[in-house]
Amino acid sequence: MSNDAQTRAWIEVNLDAVRANYRTLERTVGSSRRIIPMVKADAYGLGADRVVRALAPLSPWGWGVATASEGAALRALGVSGPVIVFSPIAPNAFELAAKHRLTLSVSDLESLDCWAAAARRHGPLAFHVEIDTGMGRAGFDWRETGSWGPAVRERAGDNLRWEGVFTHFHDADAGDAGPTAGQWRRFNDALAQLPVSREDLMVHAANSAATLRWPEFHADGVRPGIFLYGGNAAPSALGVPVPESAMALRARLTHLRRVPPGTTAGYGATYVSRGWELWGTLGIGYGDGLPRVLGNRGCALVRGSVTKIVGRISMDMTVVDISAVPDAEVGDVATLIGVDGEHAILLDEVAGLAGTISYEILTGFTPRLPRLVP
């Protein structure tokens, strides 16, 4: 690991944990199901290049991205297998997607026509149809399958291969299985109306949570995301496997000062020292993606001890009360997510304190933080 990259703040990526989490999913679904790791948003902020290289020897069926440019980047890495773009793309992105032989998810006939035109220019291309069963953001309406299904079939042919069909669950991480089961019924109602045999299509629906909780929804393949990267796929559900932690967030102490009672910290002076306290400034802030809401709420581990963030988090700096670590020195490493000694700060714990989800924490870290593999 480069010392130059550890001068201020950084993220440590544990690829062994990513592989271990993949194997947990593999054991859950069995050898007959296809696995499509989601590596969109730069593999949830951990680096798509290193994650793809780490998982490739485990032979995933394909890869999931959100944009044509993300798919093109995977091709530049040497990925030759299926790369599915799971979000609708803008009209000016079809050419890029076709050039790199990506597989599009299609939500409307107009997009399918654009993809068919690209296939006439570039040769055979594939697509998967998304069926909206309640998510509401993309996909053909499940209630209108009798109308759009034949239209899709008419447009498919030798140059435009209808490879798969899928839906997306909106509540698979919730405690109640009812909404997900309801979506599954809608999905199967739509599948029964399609003018092609179900056996001729790859059917998939399960994200990380559904993969780990409900074998009956595994279909032909699954699309895990957050579990691979160390996030609890269903925090409110019992019996769901806990992933191995795939990242740690570290920052160095860049300044120390002992302050008297009544000293204020940060914008708005939201914290006032109650007595003599030892404060340490960390070289990290919301400009690095550390949520500002963690001010006066979050923690950091310094020399194995728990220290509290005091005052509001600034763009580039964060202050912690390290009175319990009197021997701390400038240059010491603080852990904001990860393990130090006998204590750990978990990704989901930080997300909870920030009032959000682990997905947003991971993808919110900016390029200013080097991603390092120990």
Nearest to 13 by CA among 248, 324, 354, 220: 248
Identify any residues that bridge with 256 across adjacent strands, giving them in sequence order.
Answer: 280
CA distance 306 to 325: 9
Given the residues 40, 44, 271, 286, select the one marked as catalytic: 40
CA distance 336 to 266: 19
Q: What angle do CA 186, 187, 193 make, to 5 degrees?
A: 95
**Residues 217, 218, 222, 228, Cα dihedral to 10°:** 90
In the annotation, is 99 catalytic? Answer: no
236 CB neighbour count, 10 Å cutoff: 11
CA distance 191 to 198: 7
365 and 45 Cβ atoms separated by less than 8 Å = yes
In the annotation, is 267 catalytic? Answer: yes
CA distance 78 to 305: 44
Which CA distances in Å does 253 have to 6, 60, 110, 303, 324? 12, 41, 55, 11, 15
| Buried/exposed code over 125-142 (b: 16+ C-beta within 10 A; e: otherwise) | bbbbbbbbbbeeebbbeb
CA distance 40 to 282: 30
The two tokens of residue 108 are 């409307």
12 and 250 Cβ atoms separated by less than 8 Å = yes
Residue 29 neighbours by CB under 8 Å, 6+ apart: 35, 211, 215, 218, 222
Query: For strand 333-340 and strand 299-302, is the pairing parallel, antiparallel, or unpaired?
Result: antiparallel
Kind plus residue range of the DSSP H or E element containing 307: strand 305-310
Active site positions, annotated = 40, 267
